[in-house]
Amino acid sequence: MKLASIDLGSNSALLLIAEYDSISRTLKTLRNEYKISRLAENLNATQRISEERIFTLAKILKRHIEIINDYSCSEVIVTGSFALRKALNSEKIKEIVKNITGSNLRIIQPNEEAFFSYLGASVGKSHNEMTAVIDIGGGSTEIAIGVNQALFDYKSFELGVVTLFDRFSQKFPFDESTLEQAENYISKVFDDAAVFNHKNIKDIVAVAGTPTSLSAIKLGMKDKYLESEIEGSEISIDDINRFINVGSKLGGEDLIHRYGSILKGRADLLFPGV
């Protein structure tokens, strides 16, 4: 049975097509598509998804459904997260999704998002020790902690790369004062989070665009994203600090020129994510 999943995040609209084997209860990936929608752009200021972003999303959905039809999928699952939870005009998005895909949009709640992030990162993996999964999204960040597929604690934080970019981007290039303000703001959001109280965490797994882009840069990928090489690669605190030193001085186009076309569509969001 072939299934299609469309994930409407705050920055991207992801399409996954997979084949489900009911006997082995496994999923085989057939197609992955990634498109930038940036639904959370200026959302904090306006509380609404702009008409420009809605138009972009509609075009993406039409392309996604063309691909889905090529694979003759028996079911299309459409989910939305932070931007659609917060937007006052999310009902309009629901209508557009229904008209284009024929499926109902399900807007998941924050803790569901954290839970699904953990499960997605755990499927097919063996984490025999306490593991933290970090999912840095466009509008929110999820942290979940568990062993294998047994989840112990998880939380969603209302802070993502698009919301942070909107808050501080007007001050680019970033001086020390702005960096300090951003760090203090981030620390305040994460302050006193019970999810951090697990002292025996042995491993950290990062998912989504920020860590994968940073890993691609570290591995020297410029024009072609090689998922097989990025999967399981490691990013150190030194790697992160090195990019902060570079990213605080270079704009999105400069980063693309320096590191390659793999950053197109998210270059300006990479520094806030890091």
> In terms of domains, do 166 and 260 share one?
yes
The CATH number assigned to the domain holding 169 equals 3.30.420.150
Q: What are φ and ψ of residue 11, in 5° steps?
A: -120, -30
* Residue 119, domain member (yes or no): no
Last residue of a domain, one of 77, 108, 139: 108
| Cα dihedral 214, 266, 45, 8 in deg (nearest 10) | -100
Among candidate residues 73, 108, 143, the one where a domain is terminated: 108
Q: Is residue 113 a part of any domain in this protein? A: no
Q: What is the pTM of this model?
A: 0.80
Write the pLDDT tens digit of every residue in 53-99.
Answer: 999 999 999 999 999 999 989 899 999 988 899 899 999 999 999 99
Q: Identity (one letter) of the amino acid at 107?
A: I
Amino acid at 94: K
Residue 120 within any structural domain of the chain: no
User: Are 135 and 180 members of one domain?
Assistant: yes
The domain that holds 90 is classified in CATH as: 3.30.420.40
User: How far is the C-alpha of 143 from the C-alpha of 50, rounded, in Å?
Assistant: 29
pLDDT 10s per residue in the chain (274 long)? 899 999 998 888 999 999 988 888 778 889 988 888 888 888 878 889 999 999 999 999 999 999 999 998 989 999 998 889 989 999 999 999 999 999 999 999 888 888 888 888 876 666 678 888 999 988 888 888 888 777 888 888 888 888 888 877 666 667 778 888 888 888 888 886 666 776 688 888 898 888 988 898 888 888 877 888 888 889 999 998 888 888 777 777 888 888 878 787 778 788 888 8
Residues 269 and 164 in one domain: yes
Cβ(127)–Cβ(148) below 8 Å: yes
Domain count of the fold of the chain: 2
Could you tell me if 30 and 159 lie in one domain?
no
**Domain that includes residue 104, residue range:** 2-108
Same-domain status, 13 and 92: yes
Tokens of 97: 């999704």
Cis status of the peptide bond prior to 272, with omega within 30 of 0: no
Taking only the tens place, the pLDDT of each residue in 29-42 is 899 888 888 888 88
Nearest Cα neighbor of 174 from 272, 255, 240, 260 is 272
